[in-house]
Structure 1
């Protein structure tokens, strides 16, 4: 099989990519990339919590659309094309996992009192995200062999053309389980909430012995399960020990969103470069042109969202500057992303560094104080020249 790029193919050679613009054309890629960046900017920098929640839900809708396209075309595309679509899908899943992990860094009290948080939406996100990750693990270990095998078994990597079904698939076989590792803490907290809700439903606090009476036995089982799932959709997480997070000043709260946006943005930029390098092995003229409605709609939606987000950030900045000018010393910083998060490990590291620095600074100050005393005592002990 020839490994030459498209455009230099001889008769009978296979093309390296199927070049399907409706799956990973320019419009689809631009729409996906702008959706990633727009989600990062909205969740990390926009102050309105309702807009942050809405943008995250929109990203789940994009992930569902990508998953449907991949499932429908899995048996009719070549391995190289399937890998590119899968990487786009996994980029969205990675972003969603990171946002869910960041959300679990907030205290129980803050998440429970959040007016924009609903149990039904959270249950839907957890179920979708867990199902997507499990499906990705299955695809990299089994589903990739269900694609067409006559052509498209080579893809362009940084070092040159490589076989998709060779060692290259180890990238996905490592990446997908790492997503599951990121998802486990999120699922663990949700599972604990489900267990507490079910336990409180079976043994209510106000009447622990009510479940043992004849009335409880006469209650139909279906009604009890309906009541339980109603509690799951409407209740928040169970009670937990709460303590105020140690935030030294409001400026630190503002920097948390900036640092998170910078971290996620760097990861998205690396993945974008990785995908574009792989696509350089295909027919660039075909996949880098707008070919139809299916290739145009994602780009229009993604670019439109990005423009709206940038305009919102501009208006938000002007509003905050005006408020700071008018209120002066009484100005209060808005509640930004992760302002109420808890970082036990980070706080321990910071306290350890502070203690070490205080010890070093204390020893240096003590050494500086001892040096004049030693010089003075030496001068007092020096014999007078006329003493002899």
Structure 2
């Protein structure tokens, strides 16, 4: 099949519903990380699901010759995956502070396991991205026009920008691997503490602290930085699709697109509702800082 300047995109991978669903889920993760700590765990679970699904779709479409994937589509899917890596990396930053502590050691163990799993997934994404940039893209179809992507302006994908992406992903892989090692060490430490307490016949029960107001201290710099970063990823994806005249990706008329759209919208609405209800009831107060 001859490649053209315009081509029909894979709507199941990055159609309108999929894109909006991912954008909403990313927004929900940032919202929870900065404003409503109790929803962080569930948001991370949902974000990991989106992240894994996008990586699986990327591997399936670019690794199977029968899919007739275009190199530019691999880049778009890789951009989605890398945005999810960035969202997950926000978990490394200091979490919103509150007056509630988690005294249960098994909760720390769970968080350590979750962090190690996230970093392992991030490392897998970076590794496959490096493979695509060095080998995979050259095995996929190309358009007859230069593939134009966004990087604070219009640049060609197969030029200096490709070299830049290789460097970025290699650095990201090193960072993910180092963070993974630290999280594995933390996991072993938490498991050791939990086993010691279990041997002493101490089984922690769910605490029942007195009802009190949770004060959430929000860093305005961190929040605005997260919003700006998210905006850059969204602009990069949308302009890449528009500039390369990709067709059939501006409708939402299939289950594969409705599912992530509904999931993303539902998660965002749930977190907003929970925060609003808690604030109206006087159980949550927000303090801003710079």
Match of 2:158 among 154, 160, 165: 165
Structure 1 distance, partners of 2:225, 2:163, is 25
CA contact (8 A) 1:80 1:154 kept: yes
CA contact (8 A) 1:77 1:147 kept: yes
CA contact (8 A) 2:105 2:194 kept: no
Structure 1 distance, partners of 2:137, 2:103, is 41
Change (3 A) 1:150 1:29: closer
Larger radius of gyration: 1
Alignment of 1:145-294 (within 5 A): 145-149=138-142, 154-157=147-150, 160=154, 163-193=156-186, 231=191, 254-256=217-219, 258-283=220-245, 286-294=248-256
Q: Which has the higher strand share?
A: 2
Change (3 A) 1:20 1:235: farther
SS for the counterpart of 2:148 is strand
Structure 2 distance, partners of 1:153, 1:73, is 21
SS for the counterpart of 1:254 is strand
Structure 1 distance, partners of 2:23, 2:193, is 33
SS for the counterpart of 2:217 is helix
1:254, CA displacement in angstroms? 1.0
CA RMSD between the two structures: 3.7
Alignment of 1:1-80 (within 5 A): 14-48=4-38, 51-75=39-63, 76-80=68-72
Change (3 A) 1:233 1:171: farther
Unmatched tracts of structure 1, length 5 or more: 1-11, 198-230, 237-250, 325-332, 340-388
1:136, CA displacement in angstroms? 2.3
Tell me the matched-pair count: 262
Change (3 A) 1:34 1:269: same
Instruction: Look up the match of 2:202.
Output: none
CA contact (8 A) 1:22 1:295 kept: yes
Unmatched tracts of structure 2, length 5 or more: 197-213
1:280, CA displacement in angstroms? 1.1
C-alpha distance after superposition, 1:107-133 (max 9, x if no partner): xxx788566441543443333233223
Higher relative CO (CA 8 A, sep ≥ 6), structure 1 or 2? 2
Structure 1 distance, partners of 2:272, 2:189, is 42
Give the TM-score taking structure 1 as reference length.
Answer: 0.57
Alignment of 1:100-111 (within 5 A): 100-102=92-94
